Amino acid sequence: MTVALWAVVPYIALTIFVVGHVWRWRVDQFGWTSRTSQVLESRLLRLGSPLFHLGAFAAIGGHVLGLLVPKTWTEAAGVDEHLYHLVSVSAGTVAGLMVVAGLALLLARRLTNPRIRRATTRADKVLFTVLAAVILLGMTATVGQNLLGGGYDYRATIAVWFRGVLTFHPDPGLMADVPLIFQAHALSAWLLAAIWPFTRLVHVWSAPIAYLWRPYVVYRRRTARPAPARPFEREGASRR
Partner 1 sequence: MRVMAQVAMVMNLDKCIGCHTCSVTCKQTWTNREGVEYVWFNNVETKPGVGYPKRYEDQERWRGGWQLDARGRLKLRAGGRVKRLLNLFANPDLPDLDDYYEPATYDYDTLINAPAGPHTPVIRPKSAITGQDMAITWGANWEDDLGGAPEHAPADPNLAAMAEKVKLEFDKTFMFHLPRICEHCLNPACVAACPSGAMYKREEDGIVLVDQNRCRGWRMCVSSCPYKKVYVNHKTGKAEKCTFCFPRIEAGQPTVCAETCVGRLRYIGLILYDADAVLDAARAADPRDLLEAQRGVFLDPDDPAVVDAARASGISDDWIAAAQRSPIYRLAMRYRVALPLHPEYRTLPMVWYIPPLSPVLDAVTGVGADADDPDNVFHAITDLRIPLEYLASLFSAGDTEVVAGVLMKLSAMRAYMRARTVDGTVATDLLEPAGMAASDMEEMYRLLAIAKYDERYVVPAAHREDAAALAAQADGCSLDGDGGPGMSGFHPSGVTGRRGDGRLGLKLFIGKGTAS
- The set of long-range contacts for 20-24, using a CB threshold of 8 Å and a minimum separation of 24, is 20/194, 20/196, 20/197, 20/198, 21/196, 21/197, 21/202, 21/205, 23/197, 24/197, 24/198, 24/202
Binding site for partner 1 (CB under 8 A): 24, 27-42, 45-47, 49-50, 52-54, 114-115, 117-119, 121, 123, 200, 203, 206, 208-212, 214, 216-225, 227-232, 238, 240
Give yes or no for a contact between 10 and 171, defined as CB atoms under 8 angstroms apart.
no
The minimum distance between CB 192 and partner 1, in angstroms, equals: 20
Of 1 and 229, CB closest to partner 1: 229
**Cα–Cα nearest to 108, from 51, 184, 59:** 51
Q: Within a 10 A sphere around the Cβ of 163, how many other Cβ atoms? A: 16
The minimum distance between CB 200 and partner 1, in angstroms, equals: 8
Q: Within a 10 A sphere around the Cβ of 6, how many other Cβ atoms? A: 26
The minimum distance between CB 96 and partner 1, in angstroms, equals: 18
Provide CB contacts within 8 A for 83, sequence distance 6+: none
The Cα–Cα gap between 25 and 196 comes to 13
Hey, is 175 helix, strand or coil? helix
Of 30 and 168, CB closest to partner 1: 30
The minimum distance between CB 94 and partner 1, in angstroms, equals: 18
Which amino acid is residue 131, in one-letter code?
L
Of 180 and 217, CB closest to partner 1: 217
Of 23 and 73, CB closest to partner 1: 23
Of 51 and 174, CB closest to partner 1: 51
Q: Known binder of ligand: residue 53?
A: yes
The minimum distance between CB 42 and partner 1, in angstroms, equals: 5
The minimum distance between CB 54 and partner 1, in angstroms, equals: 7
Which amino acid is residue 15, in one-letter code?
T
**Cα–Cα nearest to 16, from 134, 201, 192:** 192
Give yes or no for a contact between 119 and 136, defined as CB atoms under 8 angstroms apart.
no
Of 40 and 181, CB closest to partner 1: 40
Q: Known binder of ligand: residue 63?
A: yes
Q: Known binder of ligand: residue 203?
A: yes
Binding-site residues for heme b? 53, 63, 185, 203
Binding-site residues? 53, 63, 185, 203
